[in-house]
A and B are shown apart, each in its own frame.
Chain A
Amino acid sequence: MTFNEILGIILLICLLSGIFIGFPIAFTLICLTIIFGYLGLGDMVFNLMVFQAWGVMNEETLAAVPLFVFMGYVLEQAGMMERLFKGFQYILARVNGALYLGVLFTSTIFATATGIIGASVTLIGMLAGPVMRESKYDPALSAGAITAGGTLGVLIPPSILLVVLGPVMGVSIAKLFAATIIPGLLISGLFTAYVMIRSYINPSLGPALPKSQHPSDYKAAFREFAIGMFPLLALIAASLGSILGGIATPTEGAGMGAAGALVLALAYGRLRSKNLRIALFKSVLVTSMIMLLLVASNMYGAVFNRLGTGPLIADTLVALDLSPNGVLFALMAIIFLLGWPLEWAPIIFIFLPIFLPVITDAGLDLLWVATLVAVNLQTAFLSPPVAMAAYYLKAVVPEWSLVQIYSGMFQFVGLQVVALLLVIMFPQLALWLPEQLFGN
């Protein structure tokens, strides 16, 4: 090993220590990269870092990120979720597990309309938590449905995770959107089947709602439901539909989505200047957090590779000569384990690029692997102890203990692993739709 390669390994160790001590990840990357880059490469490292930042700033596709985030916040403030959930709750009132179904259906549709990640757990928790407690729903299963449903937005397009995962894996964002739709709906379907079976076998877990909460006039109930549902479906068609149809780029689709969300908010009379400013400001913070991490990881990646350590690790892994299946299972296991202590962003930005050469070398289909990575990372949101979803929910429904919330989440993590295995065994679940839409 050369001096520079060893330097790169020390950089990686320092980086991991810094991350686990709790330094903000983006700046740890930037600053350590400068120090080690300067030691190994000299002055050129300074130009390299500005060059990398400049590269990310010039990436027009990534302009979709602030737009999708903004669209999500506007829809949230327009009360779309409330409307959907109330609608489902009303028309499903006679069914066992009505509220579980309401939570899961609402989350699935909302996930298809927006790209934000964490916030929807809070919102659906606020809406559904109190009702579920009153109706004597099982706390663990309720918490599981809320947290699992809330994190569907991570996987179901349009999702910011997919917008940044695409470029890292070198697959087109539109194709990745198409590839994750069926797995996303599959997971949502598994969740739904699970809660229905559980509440059918043991109705005390999730009883049908009492007579007083049944709609007296089903026609009126359905009309109310349609008023909440159809504009949202139209919006989904305009943003996601136009991207998948190949009419619009992801940025254009996101722009139309944002504009459509504003129109919806206006139509429902919920577009107040203060709400709008809050949505805009939050969008800036979320975008900044993600994109700065991308800038930082690109700087780090450039230096890590130039020091020769990146290629060294890649060569070593390739030399192990694992079978494609071996590579895939190792990758999935590593991401699953990293998902416990780490958030999705450092996994995508720091660890995935290290393994990318091995994945390519094994001849695996990158689009398929990217889909598996996304499914796997969604699980990370649900796996305790560092599962943000649990804390979001605990904050809005303090009556549920963390133990109950965790036990509910574990049940849904199990379902996600089933889905992951299904997509591994049947790659067509991910690859069929992109082939239909975009050919090869």
Chain B
Amino acid sequence: MTNPSQVGTPIEAESLQYKDEMIGDFGTPVHLEDSLPKPLAHFANAVDRVSEISGKLVSFLILILVGVILTEIFLRSVLNAPSIWAYDVSYMIYGTVFMIGSAATLRYGGHIRTDIFFSKFSEITKAKIDIFFYLFLFIPGIALFFWVGLEKTIHSFTTNEHGALSPWRPIIWPFRAVIPLTAALLILQGISEMIKRLGAFSARGKK
């Protein structure tokens, strides 16, 4: 299925390097076991890739945020003419970055958990705890979050809602859409995490 020449495409080779260097001491990602059935493994892999790419895409917004702030400082202190848009653009970028980035953070095991007991459990116990968590708490909860977020977005779109925090009054629905988009990415990544945890059982079966 995965022949080596395909794996060697620039993007993929690069993200393999990221795996080692990017995270450093941040987070404890769950590794994909070889013993998992192929379709499951491919699905988890694909989802992980989607999350990584979404995280990388929003990471460039941080650079844009720096640019926006510098521009605003220049306009205000040098030209004495502050913009009406910098305030809104700032929080919109920041809000988008941390929300969309949460799926990538989940993929790298970056959402903190108290590991005073967890780190001492066996792989099987960890897997049971995580699968229970994702199945009964995470996925239903985030699904509701998706649903209500989507409703708000549609409402915002149909009523042509404008921002109220500044005189610029930008159209708001694209920013509202960040909530359901985040929830959708999180649900996918949650399923992938569950599949990866299943690896603990299939690995035991092999031994």
Contacts and interface: CB of A to CB of B under 8 A. Distances in A.
Interface size class on chain A is: 35 or more
Nearest to B52: A281
Given A30-B141, A57-B175, A58-B91, A285 B18 contact: no
A178 to B, nearest CB: 21
A58 B121 CA distance: 40
A66 B65 contact: yes
Contact of B72 (A25, A30, A252, A341): A252
Given A63-B94, A392-B25, A277 B142 contact: no
B23 interface: yes
Interface stretch (B4-12, B33-41, B98-106, B197-205): B98-106
Given A63-B65, A66-B65, A288 B116 contact: no
A138 B68 CA distance: 49
B101 A22 contact: no
B138 A27 contact: yes
Q: What are the 7 A-B residue pairs with the smallest beta carbon separation, nearest first? A: A22-B118, A255-B69, A31-B141, A57-B95, A63-B94, A280-B59, A288-B101
A87 B179 CA distance: 48
Interface string B54-68: 011011101101101
Interface stretch (A46-54, A320-328, A401-409, A414-422): A46-54
The B interface is mostly helix, strand or loop, or mixed, namely helix
Given A58-B91, A283-B59, A395-B25, A288 B98 contact: yes
Interface string B124-138: 001001000100011
Contacts of A255: 65-66, 68-70, 73
B179 A119 contact: no
B112 A49 contact: no
Contacts of A341: 114, 116
A101 interface: no
A395 B18 CA distance: 19
A224 interface: no
B24 A287 contact: no
A345 B83 CA distance: 35
Contacts of B16: none
Given A58-B91, A118-B25, A259-B66, A284 B59 contact: yes
Contact of A285 (B55, B175, B179): B55
Given A31-B141, A34-B141, A50-B149, 12 more contacts: A22-B121, A23-B113, A30-B141, A31-B137, A35-B141, A63-B91, A66-B94, A284-B59, A285-B23, A285-B27, A285-B110, A342-B114
Interface string A30-45: 1110110000000000
A276 B126 CA distance: 35
B113 A24 contact: yes
B22 A248 contact: no
Given A23-B113, A53-B179, A282 B23 contact: yes
A32 B140 CA distance: 11
B59 A289 contact: no
B72 to A, nearest CB: 7
B91 A256 contact: no
A26 interface: yes
B111 interface: yes
A57 B133 CA distance: 26
Contact of A25 (B102, B111, B117): B111
Interface of B: 18, 21-27, 55-56, 58-60, 62-63, 65-66, 68-70, 72-73, 87, 90-91, 93-95, 97-99, 101-102, 104-106, 108, 110-119, 121, 126, 129, 133, 137-138, 140-142, 144-145, 147-149, 152, 165, 175-176, 178-179
B90 to A, nearest CB: 5
Given A66-B65, A287-B97, A282 B26 contact: yes
Given A27-B138, A252-B72, A259-B70, A21 B118 contact: yes
B91 A59 contact: yes
A385 interface: yes
B141 to A, nearest CB: 3
Contacts of A385: 116
A153 to B, nearest CB: 14
Interface string A236-266: 0000000000001001101110110010000
B134 to A, nearest CB: 9
Contacts of A46: 144, 147-148
A337 to B, nearest CB: 13
Contact of B98 (A21, A287, A343): A287
B108 A285 contact: yes
Contacts of B26: 118-119, 282, 285-286
Given A67-B62, A288-B104, A22 B98 contact: no
A63 B90 contact: yes
B91 A24 contact: no
A428 B54 CA distance: 47
Contact of A119 (B25, B91, B133): B25
A227 interface: no
Contact of B97 (A21, A59, A262, A284): A284
A40 B34 CA distance: 45
